[in-house]
């Protein structure tokens, strides 16, 4: 604790209380390098309003370290947090280290740590630029920036580098600001902000500063006016970075690399006609880098002075690399801390030194895009911590697929005139009165910006928060109970009756750009699957700021009947596998007794989309699931769509409240001890909650 900046006087009473809380069981306290203790001390300080440790300064120093052009040795770091050191040095090393010995690669990892810590900071440290994980393992995206050439050891001064200099100074100013030094680590939910309708354009704004470092110029290129040069650099441990430098008009700095990639991909398609279906510029760039590295490995002479592959160029490199060791679908973990250690390491903190042996093996998971091109946007996967595994493998499906017996009746004939707006054209939202589809929900639910209107959204969130205050429906013959015991079904435990959104669809006269078609257009925001370090396994986060009411993704999976769902639960429960299932019971009150093939659910365990990575958070989750009717007027089958309940900042984890009753010992709460960290956590046996309680006492 001393290394974290906590005195014995601060730590001892909290530790005493913690030991008491855990009934003299030291294991949860020692776990994760005394994380529970550190959390509890911070919590106690939080409540006492006392300044916290110098952790913030450490982290800022780390950011400085990463974002400046100075060589690492010249940055006065105070890197004394054993947790971070452990992350940097790998498992088992708990000793603080001298920052003098940080390599470039370790520096990058440190920045990832910084990012993770920033996500949980109560006081935002530095609004912009964002450094960190988006740059790790995403697409080789040297985003919009000016020339990065600078002299080592001095601050950049030319007008060309002013952007960079500002960044340096901003961080430096923050580092020097004692007020920021008082910021504390916090797990508290952010205060509910007002609606932010400024979603438009957010997807084209590159919120992530790319990590560009001084590179050695090999003088290649300059054949076109806009194209200046190609730089390639490698570090002693085989990390390679390639950068394309362009003359860019600073007024166009908000160009999104996603768009650039798309445009170039389109051009390639036009020019070459035949390309592999999974072709992408990101992959092409990655391949070029890998080939450079491979050639470098095979020809040691290239490393000699003056070559482009220079030994001393300690350039941290963020590499989207195909993961070589995905876990089989039989793996029985939902990720989490239970990830088997024996699994072959595939991605070391997203920064991967080139290993020619690895390249020989078969790629099973593309970590630059977990959707394998199935979504409109790439969804990267990163592991910034010392768990060096990939998510358990599964089949990515962007839309639901019937497994076997489920009755999902999609037919034009079943859509009556009252269930569509055949007479509309263009955009229904621009009409003076709501179309038939919108009337089903009492008017349009979406704003022209594609956000769910606040009143509707808040009502959905409220229903989720306080299910008892709203009507729960109790079936006479509950399909769930019937699937458990057909001969003598138990009493229905109740189903939450939720509000639906109804979107226009194929039988409507409007076009695909109609404002009443949001979720059917698919994912549009930049998402990332990442490894959480709080014992929740893998999670999903946004890489861009999202306003309240924004559509994030659906929960896609196999459509199963209740009997099929229960069968899988039993079978996989025996194997200890966590299931990722959602019941489609939001409107079970509308008809009579449901037949099994009409009582449906979604299972994302084996076939699913990114929705399967969204972790649970009690009460103050930043997502809410809303049933959306698209192709079928009856509500046996519908889409489960996630919308933001509040403004979400880039790099925040996306969570939804699974609605688990943690006191129901026979229920799904058995599946996990909640590590959501919410101040309102319902799981009384949650280690994190107990830690917080101890900190307060
Ligand atoms: C839908 S999956 C979410 C993705 C999952 N974390 C993974 O790694 O694949 C649900 C599982 O994640 C874990 N999980 C989700 N939220 C959690 C929480 N708040 N605390 C602990 N574990 C959690 C549990 O193992 C749960 O069964």
Q: Does ligand 1 lie within 6 Å of residue 636's CB atom?
A: no
**For residue 45, what pLDDT is reported?**
72
Provide the pLDDT for residue 293: 57
The response to whether residue 610 sits with its C-beta less than 6 Å from ligand 1 reads: no
Q: Provide the 8-state DSSP code for 99.
A: G
Q: What is the DSSP letter of 685?
A: T
415 has pLDDT over 50: yes
Range from 318-322, 501-505, 675-679 carrying the lowest mean pLDDT? 318-322
Q: Give me the pLDDT at residue 4, please.
A: 77
Least confident of 230-239, 246-255, 413-422: 230-239
What average pLDDT does the chain have? 67
Task: Report the percentage of the chain scoring pLDDT > 70.
Answer: 54
pLDDT digits (tens, 9 = 90+) for 23-60: 788 877 887 678 778 878 877 776 564 333 344 344 43
536 lines ligand 1 (CB under 6 A): yes
276-290, 328-342, 374-388 — which is least confidently predicted?
328-342
CA of 97 from ligand 1 middle (Å) equals 33
Residue 155: which pLDDT band, with cuts at 50, 70 and 90? very low
Minimal CA–CA distance to 232: which of 292, 156, 318, 181? Answer: 292
Q: How far is the CA of 523 from the centre of ligand 1 (A)?
A: 22
| Lowest pLDDT segment from 107-121, 264-278, 551-565, 584-598 | 107-121
Q: Is a pLDDT exceeding 80 seen at residue 113?
A: no
What is the rounded CA–CA span in Å between residue 489 and residue 481? 5
Burial annotation 487-504 (CB, 10 A radius, 16+ → b, else e): eebeebeebbbbbbbbbb
**What's the rounded Cα separation, in Å, for the pair 312 and 234?**
8
CA 378/CA 495 separation, integer angstroms:
35
Judge whether residue 285 has pLDDT over 70.
yes
Taking the centre of ligand 1 as the mean of its atom positions, its distance from the CA of residue 404, in whole angstroms, is 26
Max mean pLDDT among 173-182, 294-303, 517-526 falls in 517-526
Indicate if ligand 1 lies below 6 Å from the C-beta of 682.
no
Mean pLDDT of 399-423: 94
Residue 122 pLDDT > 90: no
Does residue 421 surpass a pLDDT of 90?
Answer: yes
> What pLDDT, on a 0 to 100 scale, did the predictor assign at position 465?
84
Upper half-sphere CA count for residue 314 (Cβ side, 13 Å): 15
Q: What pLDDT score does 403 carry?
A: 96
- Compute, in angstroms, the gap from residue 560 CA to the centroid of ligand 1: 21
Could you tell which of 387, 393, 537, 623 is best to mutate to test the pocket of ligand 1, judged by most ligand atoms within 8 Å of the CB?
537
Residue 278 has what pLDDT? 60
Say yes or no: CB of residue 671 within 6 Å of ligand 1. yes
- Cα of 42 vs centre of ligand 1, distance in Å, is 25
**How many Å apart are CA 542 and CA 206, to the nearest integer?**
13
Provide the pairing of β-strand 495-496 with 639-644. unpaired
Ligand 1 contact, 498 CB (< 6 A): no
Is the Cβ atom of 615 under 6 angstroms away from ligand 1? yes
Tell me which range, 9-13, 193-197, 333-337, 601-605, is most confidently predicted by mean pLDDT. 601-605
Task: Collapse the DSSP code of 646 into the 3-class scheme (helix H, G, I; strand E, B; otherwise coil) and give the result.
Answer: coil
List, for residues 232-251, the tens digit of each pLDDT value: 665 555 566 666 666 666 66
* 3-state SS assignment for residue 572: helix
pLDDT band at 93 (very low <50, low <70, confident <90, very high): very low
What is the number of the ligand 1 atom nearest to the C-alpha of 392?
A: 9
The more confidently predicted of residues 299 and 318 is 299
What are the angstrom distances between the C-alpha of 574 and each of 328, 571, 579, 631? 18, 5, 11, 36
Buried b (16+ CB within 10 A) or exposed e, 606-621: bbbbbbbbbbbbbbbb
Examine the pLDDT at 161 and tell me if it is beyond 80: no
pLDDT number for residue 452: 98
- What pLDDT is recorded for position 294? 53
Which of 396, 536, 583, 603 has most ligand 1 atoms within 8 Å of its beta carbon, as the pocket-test mutant? 536
538 lines ligand 1 (CB under 6 A): yes
What's the pLDDT at 515?
96
Confidence of residue 391 (pLDDT cuts 50, 70, 90): confident
- pLDDT above 70 (res 144): no
**Which range has the worst mean pLDDT, 360-374, 375-389, 630-644?**
360-374
Our mutation pick for probing the ligand 1 site, out of 329, 616, 625, 687, counting the most ligand atoms within 8 A of Cβ, is: 616
Reported as a pLDDT band with limits 50, 70 and 90, residue 650 is very high
Confidence of residue 520 (pLDDT cuts 50, 70, 90): very high
Q: What is the pLDDT of residues 321-379, one digit of tens each?
A: 233 333 333 333 333 333 222 222 222 222 223 333 433 333 346 688 999 999 999 99
Q: What is the pLDDT of residue 471?
A: 77
Q: Is the CB of 531 under 6 A from ligand 1?
A: no
- pLDDT of res. 60: 37
Tell me the best of 332, 333, 336, 689 to mutate to test the pocket of ligand 1, counting ligand atoms within 8 Å of each CB and taking the most.
Answer: 336
Q: What is the spatial distance between Cα 615 and Cα 260, in angstroms, rounded to a whole number? A: 32
Confidence of residue 258 (pLDDT cuts 50, 70, 90): confident
Q: Is the pLDDT of residue 217 over 50?
A: no
Q: How confident is the model at residue 621 (pLDDT cuts 50, 70, 90)?
A: very high
Q: Mean pLDDT throughout 275-288?
A: 67
| pLDDT tens per residue across span 466-483 | 887 767 899 988 999 999
Higher pLDDT, 494 or 21: 494
How much is the average pLDDT of 395-411?
95
**Interatomic CA distance for residues 369 and 351, integer angstroms:** 16
Q: Which pLDDT value is given to residue 502?
A: 97
Q: How far apart (Å, rounded) are the C-alpha atoms in residues 399 and 610?
A: 11
pLDDT range class, residue 12, cuts 50, 70, 90: very high
The model's confidence at residue 266, banded by pLDDT at 50, 70 and 90, is confident
Ligand 1 within 6 A of CB of 335? yes
The DSSP secondary structure of 155-209, one letter per residue, reads ---SGGGHHHHHHHHHHHHHHH-HHHHT--B--PPPP------TTTTGGGS--B-
Task: Write out pLDDT tens, residues 180-211.
Answer: 222 222 233 343 333 332 232 232 232 223 23
Specify the ligand 1 atom closest to the Cα of 658. 16
- CA 301, CA 279: separation in Å to the nearest integer? 33
Q: What DSSP character marks residue 345?
A: P
Are the C-beta atoms of 79 and 61 separated by less than 8 Å?
A: yes
Residue 95 has pLDDT above 90, yes or no: no
The answer, yes or no, to whether the previous bond of 129 is cis (omega within 30 of 0) is: yes
In this predicted model, what pLDDT tens digit does every residue of 540-594 receive, in sequence order?
Answer: 999 999 999 999 999 999 999 999 999 998 887 777 667 789 999 999 988 788 8
Q: Is the CB of 18 under 6 A from ligand 1?
A: no
- pLDDT for the residue numbered 625: 97
Encoding tokens for residue 640? 């489960």
């Amino acid at each position: 604790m001393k290394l974290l900046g906590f005195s014995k006087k601060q730590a001892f009473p909290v530790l005493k209380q913690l030991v008491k809380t855990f009934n003299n069981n030291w294991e949860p306290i020692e776990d994760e390098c005394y994380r529970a203790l550190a959390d509890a001390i911070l919590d106690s300080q939080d409540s006492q309003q006392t300044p916290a440790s110098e952790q913030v300064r450490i982290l800022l120093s780390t950011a400085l370290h990463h974002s400046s052009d100075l060589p690492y040795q010249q940055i006065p770091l105070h890197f004394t947090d054993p947790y971070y050191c452990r992350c940097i040095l790998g498992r088992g090393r708990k000793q603080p280290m001298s920052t003098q010995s940080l390599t470039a690669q370790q520096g990058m990892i440190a920045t990832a740590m910084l990012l993770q810590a920033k996500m949980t900071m109560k006081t935002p440290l530095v609004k912009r630029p964002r450094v960190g994980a988006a740059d790790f393992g995403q697409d080789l995206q040297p985003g919009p920036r000016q020339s990065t050439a600078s002299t080592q050891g001095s601050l950049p001064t030319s007008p060309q580098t002013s952007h960079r200099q500002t960044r340096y100074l901003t961080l430096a100013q923050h580092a020097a600001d004692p007020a920021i030094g008082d910021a504390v680590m916090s797990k508290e939910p952010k205060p509910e902000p007002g609606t932010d309708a400024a979603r438009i354009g957010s997807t084209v704004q590159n919120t992530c500063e790319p990590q560009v470092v001084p590179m050695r110029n090999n003088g290649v290129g300059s054949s076109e006016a806009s194209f200046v040069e190609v730089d390639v650099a490698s570090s002693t441990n085989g990390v390679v970075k390639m950068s394309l430098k362009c003359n860019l008009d600073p007024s166009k700095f908000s160009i999104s690399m996603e768009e650039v990639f798309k445009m170039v991909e389109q051009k390639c398609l036009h020019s070459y006609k035949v390309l592999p279906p999974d072709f992408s510029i990101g992959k092409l760039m990655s391949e070029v880098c890998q080939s450079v590295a491979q050639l470098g490995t095979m020809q040691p002479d290239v490393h000699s002075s003056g070559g482009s592959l220079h030994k001393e160029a300690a350039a941290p490199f963020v590499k989207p690399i195909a993961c070589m060791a995905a876990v089989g679908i039989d793996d029985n973990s939902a990720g989490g801390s239970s990830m088997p250690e024996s699994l072959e390491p595939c991605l070391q903190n997203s920064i991967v030194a080139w290993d020619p042996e690895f390249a020989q093996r078969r790629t099973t998971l593309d970590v630059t895009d977990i959707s394998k091109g199935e979504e409109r946007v790439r969804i990267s996967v990163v592991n910034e911590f010392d768990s060096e595994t990939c998510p358990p493998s599964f089949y990515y499906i962007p839309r639901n697929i019937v497994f076997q017996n489920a009755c999902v009746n999609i037919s034009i004939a079943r859509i009556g005139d009252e269930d569509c707006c055949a007479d509309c054209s263009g955009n229904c939202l621009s009409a003076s009165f709501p179309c038939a589809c919108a009337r089903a929900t009492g008017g349009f639910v979406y704003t022209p910006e594609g956000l769910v209107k606040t009143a509707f959204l808040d009502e959905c969130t409220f229903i989720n928060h306080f299910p008892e205050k709203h009507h729960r429906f109790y079936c006479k013959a509950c399909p769930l109970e019937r699937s458990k015991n057909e001969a003598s079904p138990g009493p229905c435990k109740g189903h939450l009756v939720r509000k639906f959104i109804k979107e226009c669809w194929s039988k409507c006269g409007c076009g695909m750009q109609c404002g009443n078609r949001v979720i059917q257009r698919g994912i549009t925001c930049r998402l990332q699957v990442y490894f959480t370090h709080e014992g929740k396994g893998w999670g999903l986060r946004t890489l861009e700021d999202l306003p309240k009411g924004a559509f994030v993704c659906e929960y896609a999976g196999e459509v199963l009947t209740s009997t099929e769902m229960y069968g899988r639960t039993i079978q996989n429960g025996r194997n200890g596998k966590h299931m990722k299932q959602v019941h489609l019971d939001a409107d079970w009150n509308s008809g009579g007794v449901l037949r099994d093939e009409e009582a449906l659910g979604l299972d994302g365990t084996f076939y699913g989309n990114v929705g399967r990575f969204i972790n649970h958070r009690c009460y103050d989750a930043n997502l809410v699931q809303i049933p959306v009717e698209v192709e079928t007027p009856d509500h046996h089958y519908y889409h489960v769509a996630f919308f933001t309940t509040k403004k979400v900042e880039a790099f925040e984890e996306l969570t939804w409240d699974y609605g688990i009753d943690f006191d129901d010992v026979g229920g799904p709460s058995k599946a996990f001890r909640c590590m959501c960290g919410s101040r309102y956590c319902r799981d009384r046996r949650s280690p994190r909650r107990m830690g917080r309680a101890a900190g307060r006492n």
